[in-house]
Structure 1
Amino acid sequence: MTEDPELTRREEPRPRVPIRIEEALAALAIAAMGVITFANVITRYLTNISLAFTEEYAIALMVVMTMLGASVAVVRNHHIRITYFVDRLRPMMRRRAELFAIAITALVFLGLAVYGSRMVWDEYRFEETSPGLGVPQWIYSIWLPVLSVVIVLRALGRGIRVARGDEQ
Protein backbone atom coordinates (compact mmCIF):
# COMPACT_ATOMS: atom_id res chain seq x y z
CA MET A 1 0.00 0.00 0.00
CA THR A 2 1.45 3.38 -0.96
CA GLU A 3 1.30 6.50 1.15
CA ASP A 4 -1.06 9.27 0.10
CA PRO A 5 1.29 12.09 -0.99
CA GLU A 6 -1.11 14.75 0.29
CA LEU A 7 -1.06 13.22 3.77
CA THR A 8 2.72 12.95 3.89
CA ARG A 9 3.24 16.55 2.71
CA ARG A 10 0.90 18.06 5.26
CA GLU A 11 2.68 20.29 7.75
CA GLU A 12 2.17 20.06 11.48
CA PRO A 13 -0.42 22.66 12.59
CA ARG A 14 0.95 25.52 14.67
CA PRO A 15 -1.56 26.45 17.35
CA ARG A 16 -0.68 29.27 19.74
CA VAL A 17 -0.70 26.90 22.71
CA PRO A 18 1.61 23.99 21.84
CA ILE A 19 0.07 20.53 21.72
CA ARG A 20 3.20 19.24 23.42
CA ILE A 21 1.36 19.96 26.68
CA GLU A 22 -1.35 17.40 25.93
CA GLU A 23 1.18 14.98 24.48
CA ALA A 24 3.35 15.14 27.60
CA LEU A 25 0.37 14.74 29.94
CA ALA A 26 -0.92 11.78 27.91
CA ALA A 27 2.54 10.20 28.05
CA LEU A 28 2.58 10.66 31.83
CA ALA A 29 -0.89 9.13 32.12
CA ILE A 30 0.01 6.06 30.07
CA ALA A 31 3.30 5.67 31.96
CA ALA A 32 1.47 5.83 35.28
CA MET A 33 -1.05 3.26 34.01
CA GLY A 34 1.81 0.99 32.99
CA VAL A 35 3.52 1.30 36.38
CA ILE A 36 0.27 0.68 38.27
CA THR A 37 -0.63 -2.34 36.15
CA PHE A 38 2.92 -3.75 36.31
CA ALA A 39 2.97 -3.36 40.11
CA ASN A 40 -0.36 -5.15 40.33
CA VAL A 41 0.88 -8.05 38.17
CA ILE A 42 4.15 -8.40 40.10
CA THR A 43 2.38 -8.25 43.46
CA ARG A 44 -0.16 -10.83 42.36
CA TYR A 45 2.58 -13.10 41.02
CA LEU A 46 4.83 -12.86 44.09
CA THR A 47 2.23 -12.77 46.87
CA ASN A 48 -0.93 -14.14 45.26
CA ILE A 49 -2.67 -10.95 46.45
CA SER A 50 -4.31 -8.60 43.97
CA LEU A 51 -4.04 -4.84 44.30
CA ALA A 52 -7.65 -4.46 43.18
CA PHE A 53 -7.83 -0.84 44.29
CA THR A 54 -5.38 0.12 41.54
CA GLU A 55 -8.13 -0.42 38.97
CA GLU A 56 -9.75 2.87 40.04
CA TYR A 57 -6.58 4.78 39.29
CA ALA A 58 -6.05 2.99 35.99
CA ILE A 59 -9.58 3.75 34.80
CA ALA A 60 -9.31 7.42 35.80
CA LEU A 61 -5.98 7.69 33.98
CA MET A 62 -7.48 6.01 30.92
CA VAL A 63 -10.25 8.62 30.77
CA VAL A 64 -7.68 11.41 31.09
CA MET A 65 -5.50 9.85 28.40
CA THR A 66 -8.48 9.47 26.05
CA MET A 67 -9.53 13.09 26.46
CA LEU A 68 -5.96 14.33 25.95
CA GLY A 69 -5.69 12.19 22.82
CA ALA A 70 -8.97 13.63 21.53
CA SER A 71 -7.58 17.13 22.05
CA VAL A 72 -4.46 16.33 20.05
CA ALA A 73 -6.58 14.70 17.32
CA VAL A 74 -8.69 17.85 16.99
CA VAL A 75 -5.61 20.05 16.60
CA ARG A 76 -3.94 17.72 14.08
CA ASN A 77 -7.18 17.05 12.20
CA HIS A 78 -6.82 13.31 12.78
CA HIS A 79 -10.30 12.56 14.04
CA ILE A 80 -12.25 9.75 12.40
CA ARG A 81 -14.35 10.78 9.45
CA ILE A 82 -15.92 9.48 6.28
CA THR A 83 -15.05 11.82 3.43
CA TYR A 84 -16.72 10.16 0.47
CA PHE A 85 -19.04 13.11 -0.20
CA VAL A 86 -16.88 15.91 1.17
CA ASP A 87 -13.98 14.99 -1.13
CA ARG A 88 -16.25 15.60 -4.12
CA LEU A 89 -17.13 19.16 -3.11
CA ARG A 90 -15.58 22.34 -4.44
CA PRO A 91 -12.86 23.78 -2.17
CA MET A 92 -15.13 26.51 -0.74
CA MET A 93 -17.87 24.01 0.11
CA ARG A 94 -15.27 21.63 1.53
CA ARG A 95 -14.06 24.40 3.83
CA ARG A 96 -17.64 25.08 4.94
CA ALA A 97 -18.19 21.39 5.63
CA GLU A 98 -14.97 21.33 7.69
CA LEU A 99 -16.09 24.39 9.66
CA PHE A 100 -19.47 22.74 10.26
CA ALA A 101 -17.76 19.58 11.55
CA ILE A 102 -15.55 21.67 13.83
CA ALA A 103 -18.59 23.54 15.16
CA ILE A 104 -20.39 20.26 15.90
CA THR A 105 -17.28 18.95 17.66
CA ALA A 106 -17.12 22.09 19.81
CA LEU A 107 -20.84 21.87 20.64
CA VAL A 108 -20.66 18.20 21.62
CA PHE A 109 -17.72 18.76 23.94
CA LEU A 110 -19.30 21.92 25.32
CA GLY A 111 -22.34 19.82 26.24
CA LEU A 112 -20.05 17.24 27.80
CA ALA A 113 -18.37 20.00 29.81
CA VAL A 114 -21.69 21.42 31.03
CA TYR A 115 -23.25 18.11 31.99
CA GLY A 116 -19.95 16.79 33.32
CA SER A 117 -19.69 19.86 35.55
CA ARG A 118 -23.17 19.21 36.89
CA MET A 119 -22.22 15.61 37.61
CA VAL A 120 -19.02 16.66 39.39
CA TRP A 121 -20.94 19.23 41.44
CA ASP A 122 -23.48 16.58 42.48
CA GLU A 123 -20.69 14.17 43.44
CA TYR A 124 -19.07 16.89 45.52
CA ARG A 125 -22.31 18.08 47.09
CA PHE A 126 -23.53 14.59 48.01
CA GLU A 127 -20.05 13.49 49.12
CA GLU A 128 -19.95 10.44 46.86
CA THR A 129 -16.92 8.23 47.32
CA SER A 130 -15.34 5.68 45.04
CA PRO A 131 -16.29 2.06 45.75
CA GLY A 132 -12.77 0.66 46.12
CA LEU A 133 -10.77 3.30 47.93
CA GLY A 134 -13.39 5.63 49.34
CA VAL A 135 -11.76 8.61 47.61
CA PRO A 136 -14.14 11.48 46.81
CA GLN A 137 -15.54 10.60 43.39
CA TRP A 138 -15.34 14.17 42.08
CA ILE A 139 -11.53 13.95 42.13
CA TYR A 140 -11.75 11.37 39.35
CA SER A 141 -14.65 13.01 37.53
CA ILE A 142 -13.37 16.60 37.45
CA TRP A 143 -11.12 15.80 34.51
CA LEU A 144 -14.05 15.12 32.18
CA PRO A 145 -15.41 18.69 32.11
CA VAL A 146 -11.95 20.28 32.39
CA LEU A 147 -10.56 18.39 29.42
CA SER A 148 -13.82 18.85 27.50
CA VAL A 149 -13.29 22.62 27.77
CA VAL A 150 -9.72 22.12 26.50
CA ILE A 151 -11.10 20.25 23.48
CA VAL A 152 -13.67 23.01 22.85
CA LEU A 153 -10.89 25.61 22.88
CA ARG A 154 -8.75 23.47 20.58
CA ALA A 155 -11.69 23.05 18.17
CA LEU A 156 -12.34 26.80 18.17
CA GLY A 157 -8.66 27.46 17.47
CA ARG A 158 -8.70 25.01 14.60
CA GLY A 159 -11.89 26.60 13.30
CA ILE A 160 -10.20 30.00 13.26
CA ARG A 161 -7.20 28.59 11.39
CA VAL A 162 -9.44 26.87 8.83
CA ALA A 163 -11.58 30.01 8.37
CA ARG A 164 -8.44 32.10 7.79
CA GLY A 165 -7.17 29.57 5.28
CA ASP A 166 -4.12 28.64 7.36
CA GLU A 167 -5.20 24.98 7.31
CA GLN A 168 -7.32 22.75 5.13
Structure 2
Amino acid sequence: MMTDTEPAVKNPTWSFRSLRSALRGRPLEEVIGAALMTLLMVITLMNVLVRYFTSQSFAWTEEISVFLLLVMTLAGASIAAAQDAHIRVEFFYSGGSDCRRRWLAALSALAAATLFLLLAILLVRAAWSEFEFGETTFGLGVPRWWYTAFTPILALLVAVRAITGRWRQANLAVPQSTTASEVQS
Protein backbone atom coordinates (compact mmCIF):
# COMPACT_ATOMS: atom_id res chain seq x y z
CA MET A 1 0.00 0.00 0.00
CA MET A 2 1.32 3.42 -0.97
CA THR A 3 1.46 6.29 1.47
CA ASP A 4 1.60 10.02 0.85
CA THR A 5 5.32 10.18 1.56
CA GLU A 6 6.32 7.57 -1.07
CA PRO A 7 6.86 8.92 -4.56
CA ALA A 8 4.59 7.48 -7.21
CA VAL A 9 6.27 5.43 -9.90
CA LYS A 10 5.84 7.24 -13.18
CA ASN A 11 5.65 5.59 -16.54
CA PRO A 12 8.40 6.60 -18.90
CA THR A 13 7.46 9.64 -20.95
CA TRP A 14 9.36 8.50 -24.04
CA SER A 15 7.70 6.27 -26.62
CA PHE A 16 7.72 5.75 -30.36
CA ARG A 17 4.33 7.45 -30.51
CA SER A 18 5.74 10.62 -28.91
CA LEU A 19 8.75 10.44 -31.24
CA ARG A 20 6.46 10.13 -34.26
CA SER A 21 4.38 13.11 -33.17
CA ALA A 22 7.53 15.18 -32.56
CA LEU A 23 8.82 14.39 -36.06
CA ARG A 24 5.51 14.96 -37.82
CA GLY A 25 5.66 17.97 -40.08
CA ARG A 26 9.45 18.20 -39.98
CA PRO A 27 11.37 18.25 -43.26
CA LEU A 28 12.98 14.95 -44.17
CA GLU A 29 16.39 16.61 -44.13
CA GLU A 30 16.03 17.56 -40.46
CA VAL A 31 15.15 14.00 -39.52
CA ILE A 32 18.05 12.62 -41.55
CA GLY A 33 20.44 15.17 -40.06
CA ALA A 34 19.38 14.38 -36.49
CA ALA A 35 19.62 10.63 -37.05
CA LEU A 36 23.06 10.95 -38.63
CA MET A 37 24.27 13.19 -35.83
CA THR A 38 23.17 10.59 -33.30
CA LEU A 39 24.82 7.78 -35.25
CA LEU A 40 28.01 9.82 -35.62
CA MET A 41 28.09 10.49 -31.89
CA VAL A 42 27.63 6.78 -31.05
CA ILE A 43 30.34 5.68 -33.50
CA THR A 44 32.80 8.30 -32.26
CA LEU A 45 32.08 7.51 -28.60
CA MET A 46 32.53 3.82 -29.27
CA ASN A 47 35.86 4.48 -30.96
CA VAL A 48 37.04 6.67 -28.08
CA LEU A 49 36.09 4.07 -25.49
CA VAL A 50 37.76 1.24 -27.39
CA ARG A 51 40.89 3.35 -27.89
CA TYR A 52 40.96 4.28 -24.19
CA PHE A 53 40.54 0.75 -22.86
CA THR A 54 42.54 -1.20 -25.48
CA SER A 55 45.01 1.36 -26.90
CA GLN A 56 43.73 0.49 -30.38
CA SER A 57 41.05 2.04 -32.55
CA PHE A 58 38.59 0.90 -35.13
CA ALA A 59 39.88 1.92 -38.55
CA TRP A 60 36.43 1.82 -40.11
CA THR A 61 35.01 4.53 -37.89
CA GLU A 62 36.89 7.29 -39.70
CA GLU A 63 35.53 6.47 -43.13
CA ILE A 64 32.01 6.04 -41.80
CA SER A 65 32.31 9.31 -39.86
CA VAL A 66 33.52 11.24 -42.91
CA PHE A 67 30.64 9.87 -44.99
CA LEU A 68 28.11 10.73 -42.29
CA LEU A 69 29.51 14.25 -42.01
CA LEU A 70 29.22 14.71 -45.77
CA VAL A 71 25.62 13.52 -45.85
CA MET A 72 24.78 15.64 -42.81
CA THR A 73 26.34 18.71 -44.47
CA LEU A 74 24.31 18.18 -47.63
CA ALA A 75 21.14 17.69 -45.57
CA GLY A 76 21.86 20.95 -43.75
CA ALA A 77 22.52 22.71 -47.06
CA SER A 78 19.18 21.45 -48.30
CA ILE A 79 17.40 22.88 -45.26
CA ALA A 80 19.21 26.21 -45.67
CA ALA A 81 18.33 26.35 -49.36
CA ALA A 82 14.67 25.58 -48.73
CA GLN A 83 14.38 28.23 -46.00
CA ASP A 84 16.43 30.85 -47.88
CA ALA A 85 18.89 30.84 -44.99
CA HIS A 86 22.10 30.46 -46.98
CA ILE A 87 24.94 32.94 -46.87
CA ARG A 88 24.42 36.25 -48.60
CA VAL A 89 25.64 39.80 -48.27
CA GLU A 90 22.90 41.42 -46.20
CA PHE A 91 24.18 44.91 -46.95
CA PHE A 92 23.04 44.65 -50.56
CA TYR A 93 19.95 42.58 -49.81
CA SER A 94 18.38 44.54 -46.94
CA GLY A 95 19.42 47.95 -48.22
CA GLY A 96 17.35 47.77 -51.39
CA SER A 97 13.76 47.96 -52.52
CA ASP A 98 11.35 45.02 -52.54
CA CYS A 99 11.93 44.53 -56.25
CA ARG A 100 15.68 44.40 -55.68
CA ARG A 101 15.25 41.89 -52.84
CA ARG A 102 13.12 39.63 -55.04
CA TRP A 103 15.70 39.74 -57.84
CA LEU A 104 18.61 39.08 -55.48
CA ALA A 105 16.74 36.22 -53.81
CA ALA A 106 15.97 34.69 -57.21
CA LEU A 107 19.57 35.17 -58.31
CA SER A 108 20.95 33.55 -55.16
CA ALA A 109 18.54 30.60 -55.47
CA LEU A 110 19.57 30.17 -59.10
CA ALA A 111 23.25 30.38 -58.18
CA ALA A 112 22.82 27.83 -55.38
CA ALA A 113 20.90 25.47 -57.67
CA THR A 114 23.54 25.82 -60.39
CA LEU A 115 26.35 25.18 -57.93
CA PHE A 116 24.75 22.02 -56.58
CA LEU A 117 23.83 20.78 -60.07
CA LEU A 118 27.48 21.14 -61.09
CA LEU A 119 28.52 19.44 -57.85
CA ALA A 120 26.17 16.55 -58.63
CA ILE A 121 27.76 16.16 -62.07
CA LEU A 122 31.25 16.14 -60.56
CA LEU A 123 30.20 13.65 -57.89
CA VAL A 124 28.75 11.32 -60.54
CA ARG A 125 32.05 11.49 -62.41
CA ALA A 126 33.98 10.80 -59.20
CA ALA A 127 31.78 7.83 -58.30
CA TRP A 128 32.09 6.46 -61.82
CA SER A 129 35.88 6.70 -61.81
CA GLU A 130 36.02 5.01 -58.40
CA PHE A 131 33.79 2.24 -59.77
CA GLU A 132 35.75 1.96 -63.00
CA PHE A 133 39.15 1.70 -61.31
CA GLY A 134 37.92 -0.52 -58.47
CA GLU A 135 39.15 1.71 -55.65
CA THR A 136 38.60 0.35 -52.15
CA THR A 137 38.63 1.98 -48.75
CA PHE A 138 41.50 1.49 -46.32
CA GLY A 139 39.49 0.64 -43.21
CA LEU A 140 36.81 -1.75 -44.44
CA GLY A 141 38.15 -2.63 -47.87
CA VAL A 142 34.76 -2.01 -49.50
CA PRO A 143 34.42 -0.30 -52.87
CA ARG A 144 34.81 3.45 -52.40
CA TRP A 145 31.94 4.22 -54.78
CA TRP A 146 29.53 2.82 -52.18
CA TYR A 147 30.06 6.05 -50.28
CA THR A 148 30.09 8.46 -53.21
CA ALA A 149 27.14 6.94 -55.09
CA PHE A 150 24.63 8.63 -52.77
CA THR A 151 26.13 12.10 -52.77
CA PRO A 152 24.99 13.17 -56.27
CA ILE A 153 21.40 12.42 -55.27
CA LEU A 154 21.79 14.61 -52.20
CA ALA A 155 23.38 17.40 -54.24
CA LEU A 156 20.43 17.25 -56.65
CA LEU A 157 18.10 17.42 -53.67
CA VAL A 158 19.79 20.64 -52.52
CA ALA A 159 19.40 22.13 -56.01
CA VAL A 160 15.72 21.20 -56.13
CA ARG A 161 15.13 22.55 -52.63
CA ALA A 162 16.79 25.86 -53.57
CA ILE A 163 14.47 26.33 -56.53
CA THR A 164 11.30 25.09 -54.81
CA GLY A 165 12.07 27.13 -51.68
CA ARG A 166 12.41 30.29 -53.74
CA TRP A 167 9.28 29.41 -55.72
CA ARG A 168 7.30 28.94 -52.50
CA GLN A 169 8.55 32.23 -51.05
CA ALA A 170 7.74 34.08 -54.28
CA ASN A 171 4.20 32.70 -54.24
CA LEU A 172 3.75 33.70 -50.60
CA ALA A 173 5.00 37.22 -51.31
CA VAL A 174 2.59 37.85 -54.20
CA PRO A 175 -0.72 39.16 -52.82
CA GLN A 176 -3.78 37.42 -54.16
CA SER A 177 -6.00 39.90 -56.05
CA THR A 178 -9.20 38.00 -55.39
CA THR A 179 -10.24 35.82 -52.52
CA ALA A 180 -12.84 33.09 -52.43
CA SER A 181 -15.36 35.37 -50.65
CA GLU A 182 -14.94 38.07 -53.32
CA VAL A 183 -15.55 35.51 -56.08
CA GLN A 184 -18.78 34.28 -54.44
CA SER A 185 -20.20 37.79 -53.94
If the length of structure 1 is used for normalisation, what is the TM-score? Answer: 0.83
Cα distance, 1:166 vs structure 2: 4.1
Which of 112, 116, 135 pairs up with 2:119? 112
- Structure 2 CA distance, aligned partners of 1:164 and 1:30? 34
Per the alignment, in what secondary structure is the counterpart of residue 90 of structure 2? coil
Residue in structure 1 matched with residue 105 of structure 2 by the alignment: 98
Cα distance, 1:152 vs structure 2: 0.8
- Would you say the 8 A contact 2:109–2:162 is kept in 1? yes
- Would you say the 8 A contact 2:110–2:162 is kept in 1? yes
Residue in structure 2 matched with residue 13 of structure 1 by the alignment: none
Rg larger for: 2
1:41-87 Cα deviation digits (max 9, x unpaired): 11111112111221110011000000001101111222122210221
Cα distance, 1:162 vs structure 2: 3.2
Q: Any unmatched runs of 5+ in structure 2?
A: 1-24, 175-185
Residue in structure 2 matched with residue 3 of structure 1 by the alignment: none
Alignment: residue pair count: 150
Superposition misfits of 4+ residues, deviation over 6 angstroms: none
Amino acid at match of 1:28: A
Per the alignment, in what secondary structure is the counterpart of residue 91 of structure 2? coil
Q: Any unmatched runs of 5+ in structure 1?
A: 1-17
Matches within 5 A, 1:1-168: 20-166=27-173
